[in-house]
Amino acid sequence: MSDLSIDVVAKAAGVHRSTVSRAFSRPEAVKSETREHILRVAEGLGYTMSPLAQALRRKTSTIIPLIVPDITNPFFAELAKTMTQAADERGYQLMLCVTNGDPAKSDGYFTAMQAMYAPFGIVAPSTKVDTEALKRFAFGHKVVVIDRVEGDESVPTVTVDSRKGIMLALDHLHSLGHTSIGYVSGIAGTHTAQDRMDAYLELTAQSGSLPVVLDSGSDLDAGTRGAEHFLEMDNPPTAIIAANDMVAFAVISALGRSGLRVPDDVSVIGFDGLALGARFNPPLTTVRQPIADMGHIAIELAEKQNGDGSVDHIVLEPELLVRGSTSELRK
């Protein structure tokens, strides 16, 4: 269990270490009997290759960084969860990098990962990704971004159709009789947040109603402020779309503290589909993003780009998840 290197196995199997190496990493280059014999011997010894030595020589490791602004945010947590799984399945190990939104930190992570010969990285941004900055790094060309990227087609991305999602929310609310629908922006800075907001503005205008942006702040307190704003209005909307579930939670909480009940007094719908939402009070109606798919797809895109160099931009479909925070408009 202590020091079994490739040489030990080689000796035990009576072959040269290069043959052992091939038996593992390029099976077709070794006579099948030899290979099986080697594998058997290795198995018996309980030998596995040193990923470190491999990485050093190959200049490619199996460590892949997942860069998120805040793992405490359940959206990123769910993402991290499915990504660790997806990574595992493919023999990678996820390295969690939490930036707290500090670009300097993510730079630091990039350098570190580059030094570790990470084959690629995944970035879930809190601010717009600066692709120019990315390219300063060796694997800048091998990064998948979980957000839309402006004016640079060379970075693979995976996102959810924001417009479709907002449309789903709006339609749902309309079908319940709501016509005056407010909006609280999410953690702004990302294209995704921007897109959702734009979609809201555009679709509301299209339906002939007046858009009511309760808050467009960029931090976690947007929800709280949005609710405050709502409470001060003379003629508040009867429903609120929150740009993401966390904001929706904050809105409902703040409303609740002022004695307003959801959905009886106001309907609130979120955007994310966090598992947590099912245990909120009330259970949150929301637009679900297929987070699990996003994780898997991000890794696939990265591998694909790594392989044939192709760059894809995947846009997934959101779906409506009706739970308990929206209800028929009561006059």
Give the up-direction half-sphere exposure of residue 8: CA atoms within 13 A in the CB hemisphere: 13
Element holding 247 (H helix, E strand): helix 245-257
57 binds DNA (CB under 7 A): yes
Min dist. Cβ of residue 174 to a copy of itself (A) = 25
Q: Which three-class secondary structure state does DSSP give residue 225? A: helix
Of the pair 27, 108, the CB lying nearest a copy of itself is at 108
Which residues pair with residue 63 across a beta bridge? 93
Of the pair 259, 307, the CB lying nearest DNA is at 307
Of the pair 279, 331, the CB lying nearest a copy of itself is at 279
Min dist. Cβ of residue 18 to DNA (A) = 3
Which backbone phi and psi does 154 adopt, to 5 degrees?
-85, -5
Of the pair 240, 246, the CB lying nearest a copy of itself is at 246
The entry of DNA, a copy of itself, none near residue 4 (CB within 5 to 8 angstroms by kind) is DNA
253 binds a copy of itself (CB under 8 A): yes
| Per-residue contact string for residues 142-161; x = within reach of a copy of itself by CB under 8 A | --------------------
How many whole angstroms separate alpha carbon 224 and alpha carbon 49? Answer: 53
How many whole angstroms separate alpha carbon 323 and alpha carbon 103? Answer: 37
49 binds DNA (CB under 7 A): yes
16 binds DNA (CB under 7 A): yes
User: Which 4-43 positions form the footprint of a copy of itself (CB under 8 A)?
Assistant: none
From candidates 11, 117, 202, 313, binder to a copy of itself by CB under 8 A? 117
From candidates 138, 213, 231, 292, binder to a copy of itself by CB under 8 A? 138
Max CA pair span of the chain? 87
From candidates 23, 98, 129, 287, binder to a copy of itself by CB under 8 A? 98
* 271-286 burial: b if 16+ Cβ within 10 Å, else e: bbbbebbeebebebbb
17 binds DNA (CB under 7 A): yes
From candidates 11, 12, 34, 85, binder to DNA by CB under 7 A? 34
| Per-residue contact string for residues 67-96; x = within reach of DNA by CB under 7 A | ------------------------------
How many whole angstroms separate alpha carbon 331 and alpha carbon 327? Answer: 12
Give the up-direction half-sphere exposure of residue 71: CA atoms within 13 A in the CB hemisphere: 10
How many whole angstroms separate alpha carbon 257 and alpha carbon 235? Answer: 20
326 and 173 Cβ atoms separated by less than 8 Å: yes
Q: Which three-class secondary structure state does DSSP give residue 122? A: strand
Instruction: Give the number of residues written for the chain.
Output: 331
223 binds a copy of itself (CB under 8 A): yes
What is the side-by-side strand order in the sheet with 319-321?
A: 212-215, 181-184, 239-242, 267-272, 285-288, 319-321
62 binds DNA (CB under 7 A): no
Of the pair 130, 221, the CB lying nearest a copy of itself is at 221
Which residues pair with residue 316 across a beta bridge? 160
Kindly give the interhelix angle for 245-257 and 222-232, rounded to the nearest 10 degrees.
40
Q: How many of the other CB atoms lie within 10 Å of CB of 208?
A: 7
Residues binding a copy of itself (CB under 8 A): 1, 48-53, 55-56, 61, 63, 66, 70-72, 74, 77-78, 80-81, 84-85, 93-98, 111-112, 115-117, 138, 223-224, 246, 249-250, 252-253, 255-257, 262, 275-276, 278-283, 324
Residues binding DNA (CB under 7 A): 3-7, 14-19, 21-22, 24-26, 29-32, 34-35, 47-50, 52-54, 56-59
